[in-house]
Amino acid sequence: MAAPRPAALLRGLPAPMVSVVLGLAVVASSIGGGLGGDSGAPFPWDKVRLPEHVVPLHYHLLIHPNLTTQTFTGTAAIDLTVTRQTSAVILHSKRLHVAWAAIGAQEARVLEQQALEQVALLAAEPLRAGHNYTVTIQYTANLSDSFHGFYKSTYRTQEGELRVLAATQFEPTFARAAFPCFDEPAFKARFSVKIRREPKHLALSNMPLMKTVNINSWLVEDHFDTSVKMSTYLVAFIVSDFKSISKISSHGVNISVYTVPEKIDQADYALDAAVKLLDFYEDYFSISYPLPKQDLAAIPDFQSGAMENWGLTTYRESALLYDPDKSSASSRLWITMIIAHELAHQWFGNLVTMEWWNDLWLNEGFAKFMEFVSVNITHPELKVEDYFLSNCFDAMEVDALNSSHPVSTPVKDPAQILEMFDDVSYVKGSCILNMLKDYLTDDVFKAGLVQYLQKYSYQNTKNEDLWNSMTNICPTVGTDKSEQQGDGFCRRNQQSSSNAHWTKGETLDVKAMMNTWTLQKGFPLVTVTVRGKNVHLQQEHYMTGTDSHSSTGYLWHIPLTYITSKADTVQRFLMTTKTDVIILPEEVEWIKFNVYMNGYYIVHYEDDGWDHLINLLKENHTAISNNDRASLINNIFQLVRIKKIPISKALDLTLYLKRETQIMPVLQGMNELVPIYKLMEKRDMDDTEKQLKEYIVNLFKDLIDKQLWSDDGSVSERMLRQSLLLFACVRRYQPCVDKAEEYFLKWQKSNGTLSLPADVKTAVYAVGAQTSEGWDFLLSKYRQHSFSIDKSRIELALSFTRNKDKLQWLLDQGLRGDIIKTQDLPHIILYVARNPSGYQLAWTFLKENWEKLVEKFELGSNSIATIVTGVTNKYSTRLQLAQVKEFFSSLEEKSAQLRCIQQAIETIEDNIQWMDTNLNDIKTWLQKNHL
């Protein structure tokens, strides 16, 4: 326990004195400079990044939230070291009213620079290089109304009583809204946290509770153990009335799940998963988890899925709580993956942290990738490998736009930093890591990771630190003779074994290869032309839209894999030039590149290459893997987007889907076809749209008819069932609608007590919500505590109504946050925007409430991006484009420059071009195929 410091400066004062001083402070700080400040003095620093010559070593924090007045007071005493003489200490502070500050025993003047979210403490005499000091700051603030900083969350008990709690969300730049700090990831320090609370509440922080001191009859103070060295964004504390359950992992870590008392019976699954996963990571990384405990807390109001605060991971309730009787298979998969993601961060992100947010992917791409590695081994029944692919396709959709960005991108201000939390950092990051693992082999890849984590523990890293760790690894595995050269590169012998990859003498320069994937945006299109035994290859930057010919300078090092009609052993070839040739041992009927879609690139088979593959799918689709079939479906539609292939050929390929039964190719087929008629819906093109819908339903009709209305089967089968039944019922496929109506009426008759199979509920609710009475009944259940596990399903179902007043009500309620929590508003807007009766309402709602949305969810956040792109991504007329451009250009500069707005505009332009090119061909094809 740390000895008392000059920190406790106001603690000894009588209570009335404290309030006088704090009261004075609020007034002083709000008129400009903070107490003792001088609003006329120039602020001594003008950069977004803090100076590097003052470095924090240890924070002593005392935080006292008042859940009644929804305010808090704080004292931050920060031990720091000075490496160059200076007269000012610059730190971050956001919406904090500084009451009083000192450097050592001397009171300091306080200046505030709101635009940069900084305060300066001016010393009476210069601080000398090589000396340590303690700065102490007393401050007050309001609990935030957003989902960032130290914020207020509420829930209702079964009896309807509203309860308030306070929780933190600091990543990326919001620790400064809870205490003054050096809020950049490279300023790692130790933290000793004390929290004052009412005796009826419970406080949690990153470290275990050491002792509790009674201040008076209505107030206690919890002292938490000192943390390991970490970044400010990982600090966390919660004051609540949560209950918990606990277990000890096999490595001796105390793991607990916390939630509101009435949901504690939904915590068991998460606890068991966390124990398994934490044990797995300790073994996999060969590095012990460094804290004595790991808490997982479900917060009633939470913007993202979850947050990796060290030792106290926080989650949205739906991302942690699981009811074996009521939750769906997809919910179990999602919860397991999110826990796996946050626990992976305890090593990738917490133990080893990126130096700056430009390399956020080192945290997020890894955690996303490790979800699949860990869950695959700890929960094999979930078959996670089935879903990795669709993630990569989603990332490629964004990455194909000119407005995409490299995985590693320079960023400065908080809005730009928030924008990094997107599919490129998370999903593309994980897809290129998967490609690298496939390229290096599992053992070499894992050895490189372990070396990276061991070398940089408690430090900060850049991209190249990872590649350097990967380059010097040459474990000898099995019969694979690897030799370490004097230059530190691996060279492999081609003849040594079946899994040896690369030609003799070829250097595996991981850094040179991976820089092509992380330092330039987008991904390659590889065009394959077969002439006899010669396979001619050409690579180019795949890009949609009007600027697609402007990026000629792009070149990737592509680890190509392929199989042929004559050889199903995976062949490998590293392509590092614009064009190349592979010579096959014999002529083949077909060749399929990017086996299992392990590579982050797409392939075009020129001449009759596609015809041979389409024929293969027609004759014998199981000759290639599920993933290979899904990737062919994806690739051919991406080629239609850039006019390399006519839409008729892509539609010819989909005909084989009548015989497809596997989840990945079926869902990929839907993912390509459904958006086409969604474009038509927003143009009111009834006839073609109707024909296309009928074609899609017809394709999957046999598979839909085979679906059981139960929870039987594997996780993949159950997830496929959920998707297919919802699809069929929403498209008004009569056998599905009849069955769902029958279920809904029985369920309604039982007043919601009848137990419906979890995986068919969404379809049943969606059909039930089509009548006004059914919609009202569903809403009444939504408001009941016993249906908390079904909330997201009911929200989706309610959004399918054609009644515009009801859709408007959903939007307004989501913003109000009483019946529908505001955390769910981005989804609600998205659902309403997808509804042909609601897309104009959603656009009007976005325009009228833009300021409120930004205030709640923060400029640059993924939530804002989801709303902007979700509302506009199926617009395809010049009038819609003009409206979108006009509204966003009318906003202040910071909003107008958001990447998601560029993406939205580009997507609409792309849609217009797509419809101009393909609409008539679709009509002709549908007529020709008598569908």
Helix axes 647-654, 609-620, angle to 10 degrees: 20
User: Which one is catalytic: 112, 184, 282, 342?
Assistant: 342
CA atoms within a 13 Å half-sphere pointing along the CA-CB vector of 245 = 15
Do residues 170 and 234 touch, judged by C-beta distance below 8 A? yes
Within 146-292, strands assigned E span 149-156, 162-169, 190-197, 202-205, 209-216, 219-224, 237-240, 243-248, 254-259
Structure tokens of 114?
Answer: 């709101």
Burial of residue 766 (CB within 10 Å: 0-12, 13-18, 19+) is buried
Which stretches of 549-706 are DSSP H helices?
Answer: 609-620, 626-641, 647-654, 663-681, 686-706
Within 543-638, strands assigned E span 558-564, 571-575, 579-583, 591-593, 602-605
Return d(Cα 508, Cα 670) in angstroms, integer: 39
Q: Which residue has the tokens 């006009």?
A: 886
Return d(Cα 535, Cα 566) in angstroms, integer: 15
Q: Which residue has the tokens 């709602």?
A: 845
Q: Are strands 219-224 and 190-197 parallel, antiparallel or unpaired?
A: antiparallel
Query: What are the helix and strand counts (H, E) for the chain?
Result: 29, 31
Q: Are strands 54-66 and 190-197 parallel, antiparallel or unpaired?
A: parallel
Q: Smallest Cα–Cα separation from 868: which of 197, 357, 419, 207? A: 419
3-state SS track over 407-420: CCCCCCCHHHHHHC
Is 341 annotated as a binding-site member? yes
Do residues 626 and 386 touch, judged by C-beta distance below 8 A? yes
Q: Which residue has the tokens 């008042």?
A: 66
Distances (CA, A) of 146 to 151, 616, 818, 857: 7, 54, 14, 7
Query: Angle at CA 265, nearest 5°, toward 260 and 270?
Result: 90
Return d(Cα 102, Cα 116) in angstroms, integer: 22
Is 381 annotated as a binding-site member? no
- Beta strands across the sheet bearing 219-224: 106-107, 97-103, 132-142, 71-82, 54-66, 190-197, 219-224, 209-216
C-alpha dihedral sign at 24, 25, 30, 33: positive
Distances (CA, A) of 705 to 15, 93, 329, 674, 793: 72, 60, 20, 19, 23
Structure tokens of 3?
Answer: 């000895």
Return d(Cα 471, Cα 454) in angstroms, integer: 15
Is 345 annotated as a binding-site member? yes
Beta bridge partners of 295: 256, 312
Do residues 859 and 822 touch, judged by C-beta distance below 8 A? no
3-state SS track over 490-527: EEECCCCCCCCCCCCCCCCCHHHHHHHHHCCCCEEEEE
- DSSP line for 418-442: HHTSSHIIIIIHHHHHHHHHHHH-H
Structure tokens of 522?
Answer: 């987008």
Active site residue 342: yes
Return d(Cα 771, Cα 601) in angstroms, integer: 46
Which stretches of 106-229 are DSSP H helices?
Answer: none
Do residues 78 and 134 touch, judged by C-beta distance below 8 A? yes
Return d(Cα 191, Cα 197) in angstroms, integer: 19
Residue ranges of the binding site for Zn(2+): 341, 345, 364
Q: Which residues are catalytic?
A: 342
Residue ranges of the binding site: 341, 345, 364
